[in-house]
Amino acid sequence: MNRVYNNEAIIMACIVHLLRRRNMDMPISYIMVTLLIDNQLGAIIRKSQNFEDLSDLISNQGLISRKLASFGPYFINAMVILKQSKVIDISDDVVQLIDYSFPDENLRSKRLDRIIKDAHVLLDMCSNLSSKEIYNKLNVQL
């Protein structure tokens, strides 16, 4: 499969999985998807005990802004496809899942299985943080 389409499909599955746990604003969904999709950033999630560890490791390496720019077009395309397919709804900058029939498990992708495991950890780490706090602590340069 073409890697571009594969990334978009995996990002769509990642977005849906995150939204099954909670609604989120666009900036949080964008940064979470980027953290989860990238192999290098995913490894940092698995090494971290909490968000402070995660933010220290990521900000010290200075990777996040470049990764956000790299995955941005895939994220936007995935959001547009999900919105046009009526899987998600976006209102007042809040993204919510409206079609729960989108497959979430048994998609036979080792990469997606890893991303889903990491998503649970990341959501727990960031559960009490705002978008602004996450972006600031990760030292995101917009």
Q: Whole-model pTM?
A: 0.90
pLDDT score recorded for residue 16: 95
What does the domain layout of the chain look like in residue ranges? 3-137
8 Å CB contact between 9 and 75 = no
Per-residue pLDDT of the chain (142 residues), as tens digits, is 445 558 888 999 999 999 999 999 999 999 999 999 999 999 999 999 999 999 999 988 877 989 999 999 999 999 999 999 999 999 988 999 999 887 766 667 788 889 999 999 999 999 999 999 999 999 887 6
Query: In the structure encoding, which two tokens stand for residue 12, read together?
Result: 């769509």
pLDDT score recorded for residue 119: 94
Provide φ and ψ at 89, rounded to 5°.
Answer: -130, 145
Which residue has tokens 């979430």?
Answer: 104
Q: How many Å apart are CA 5 and CA 126, to the nearest integer?
A: 29
pLDDT score recorded for residue 113: 87
Query: In the structure encoding, which two tokens stand for residue 19, read together?
Result: 């939204």
